[in-house]
């Protein structure tokens, strides 16, 4: 399915925003009070589908979550000829929260979707328990588990960008008033706890239902995960990712055992954001076949290991980049490879897929010192995804971690900022000489800085009195 059918009905809610966003919604659409206090079954189900639309915002854009984090993690450059800030700010810095396309980016849209989840949950509580005008208790339970999972996904992406600046945690059990005081900013530990609690609560609600279809439309990107117990596997996959970010290795393995991880299944198995070229829908602009803006970072070529023939670079590098002749240049930097991860404007972008789960299991086992188990999973990916020979290096935690990060970089290239998040997780952004995956570039424009976090948008800081002590200044980088 495509989402343009549901999109017009959602705009009145989505444009109402969050975190003191004063954008006025569609005055011809029902207000939030009406939606919450006098809900209809159709309206509630539209809100539920709208969470998938909202989660996709900013994913396929060239200044969105995937591409921007890709620049920060040296997966790509963005040589957009219309805006040199993709280099001058994202590469050299500082990050400026006053720019909604750069340092202040990747924030407001996520909280808009979190508010949609909040409205959905409140409206559902006021809806009759009797179909056809209402929703049965089982339908409400399924929808609650779904909404909490999707909200957790949005909170996680907000935290991935703001990191130790923390993030606002608005209440999930009361309607958010966009004209009221902003939610308090929770530190990263409390934010992670909130995300885990949402995922675990969502999992409980999904389990309570048993195996059943959702009462609302699901995107084609959720094919195979569009029933309560299969969606639960997606929920557990997200829990595993969060647990790895927190170094909670046993929790990660427990979650992975309940996820859709399957070494006999295609590595592409997973949940995806979908795009189409249909009128009213959104396209995947990470597809840039002429390399107008997006080009591969040169370190991908210099860092690629060799396939079993001892000559050809890693099959992932070969498949996901292509030769540019002549090389493209901007602001003192250049690349002779285009990005070939996506092959059409309708290509989906993963939320999470089987290949990542296998690598997360290896990462958790490295953390626990289960090196033989980790090596089995690493070799599976090396051989099946990269056409590389089995790993022949030292079998120690540091050596296997370096090998794991290499494989995550090439396997998950331009899928969700994984390189940047992983390098930060292990302290390698502050010490780029310790990682062969980072290059301290210099040009006439300056020396590359590595950013650990984004600042808050300026409007978010101005809405608070006093402004947060951390996160409301220019982010200079390392």
Find all residues with CB under 8 Å of 44, minimum gap 6, and list them: 120, 123, 124, 127, 135, 143
What local confidence, expressed as pLDDT, does residue 8 receive? 37
In a domain, 419, yes or no: yes
Whether residue 165 is predicted with pLDDT greater than 70 in this model: the reply is yes
In a domain, 70, yes or no: yes
Extended beta strands in 33-191, E state:
76-78, 167-168, 185-186
What local confidence, expressed as pLDDT, does residue 25 receive? 42
What local confidence, expressed as pLDDT, does residue 27 receive? 40
Whether residue 14 is predicted with pLDDT greater than 80 in this model: the reply is no
Q: Which of 23-32, 177-186, 249-258, 459-468 has the highest mean pLDDT?
A: 249-258
What local confidence, expressed as pLDDT, does residue 175 receive? 65
What local confidence, expressed as pLDDT, does residue 433 receive? 64
What local confidence, expressed as pLDDT, does residue 31 receive? 73
Calculate the alpha carbon distances from 339 to 67, 301, 313, 331, 336 in Å.
Answer: 11, 12, 16, 19, 10
288-315 mean pLDDT? 97
What local confidence, expressed as pLDDT, does residue 24 receive? 38
In a domain, 30, yes or no: yes
b/e for 26-56, b at 16 or more Cβ within 10 A?
Answer: eeebbebeebbeebbbebbbbbbbbbbbbbb
In a domain, 467, yes or no: no
In a domain, 368, yes or no: no
In a domain, 49, yes or no: yes
What local confidence, expressed as pLDDT, does residue 23 receive? 38
Q: State the total domains in the chain.
A: 1
In a domain, 367, yes or no: no
**Contact present, 252 and 364 (Cβ < 8 Å):** yes
Percent of the chain with pLDDT over 90: 84
Determine the 3-state secondary structure of 447 from DSSP: strand
Which CATH number do you get for residue 18?
Answer: 1.25.40
What local confidence, expressed as pLDDT, does residue 346 receive? 98
**Contact present, 86 and 80 (Cβ < 8 Å):** yes
Percent of the chain with pLDDT over 70: 90
In a domain, 317, yes or no: no
| 63-120 per-position pLDDT tens digit | 999 999 999 999 999 999 999 999 999 999 999 999 999 999 999 999 999 999 999 9
Put residue 464 in one of left, alpha, beta given phi > 0 → left and psi -120 to 50 → alpha: beta
Q: How many CA atoms lie within 13 A of 55 on its CB side?
A: 31
Domain encompassing residue 197: 7-283+346-351+414-462
């Amino acid at each position: 399915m495509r989402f343009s059918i549901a999109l017009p009905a959602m705009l009145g809610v989505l444009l109402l925003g969050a975190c003191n966003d004063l954008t006025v919604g569609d005055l011809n659409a029902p207000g939030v009070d009406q939606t919450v206090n006098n809900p209809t079954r159709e309206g509630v189900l539209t809100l539920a589908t709208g969470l998938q639309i909202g989660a996709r915002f900013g994913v396929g854009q060239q200044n969105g979550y995937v591409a921007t984090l890709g620049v920060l993690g040296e997966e790509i450059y963005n040589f957009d000829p219309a805006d040199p800030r993709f280099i001058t700010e994202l590469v050299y810095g500082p990050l400026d929260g006053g720019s909604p396309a750069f340092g202040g980016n990747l924030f407001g849209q996520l909280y808009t979707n979190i508010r949609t989840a909040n409205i959905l949950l409140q409206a559902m509580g006021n809806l009759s328990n009797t179909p056809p005008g209402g929703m049965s208790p089982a339908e409400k339970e399924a929808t609650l588990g779904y909404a909490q999972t999707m909200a957790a996904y949005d909170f996680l992406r907000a935290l991935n960008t703001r990191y130790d600046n923390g993030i606002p945690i608005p209440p999930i059990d009361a309607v958010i008033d966009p004209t009221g005081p902003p939610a308090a900013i929770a530190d990263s530990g409390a934010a992670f706890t909130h995300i885990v609690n949402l995922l675990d609560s969502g999992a409980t609600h999904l389990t309570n239902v048993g195996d059943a279809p959702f009462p609302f439309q699901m995107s084609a990107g959720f094919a195979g995960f569009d029933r309560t117990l299969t969606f639960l596997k997606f929920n557990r996959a997200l829990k595993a990712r969060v647990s790895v970010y927190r170094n909670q290795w046993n929790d990660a393995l427990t979650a992975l055992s309940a996820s859709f991880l399957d070494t006999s299944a295609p590595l592409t198995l997973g949940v995806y954001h979908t795009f189409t070229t249909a009128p009213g829908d959104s396209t995947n602009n990470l597809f840039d076949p002429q390399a107008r803006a997006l080009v591969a970072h040169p370190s991908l070529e210099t860092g690629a290991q060799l396939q079993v023939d001892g000559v050809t670079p890693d099959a992932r590098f070969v498949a996901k980049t292509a030769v540019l002749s002549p090389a493209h240049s901007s602001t003192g930097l250049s690349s002779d490879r285009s990005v070939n991860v996506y092959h059409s404007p309708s290509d989906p972008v993963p939320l999470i897929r089987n290949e990542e789960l296998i690598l997360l299991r290896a990462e958790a086992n490295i953390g626990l010192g289960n090196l033989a188990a980790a090596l089995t999973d690493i070799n599976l990916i090396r051989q099946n995804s990269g056409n590389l020979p089995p790993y022949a290096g030292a079998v120690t935690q540091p050596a296997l971690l370096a090998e794991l990060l290499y494989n995550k970089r090439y396997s998950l290239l331009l899928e969700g900022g994984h390189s940047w998040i992983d390098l930060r997780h292990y302290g390698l952004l502050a010490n780029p000489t310790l990682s062969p995956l980072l290059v301290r570039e210099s040009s006439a424009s300056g020396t590359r800085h590595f950013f650990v976090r984004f600042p808050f948008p300026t409007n978010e800081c101005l809405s608070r009195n006093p402004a947060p002590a951390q996160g409301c200044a220019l982010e200079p980088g390392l």
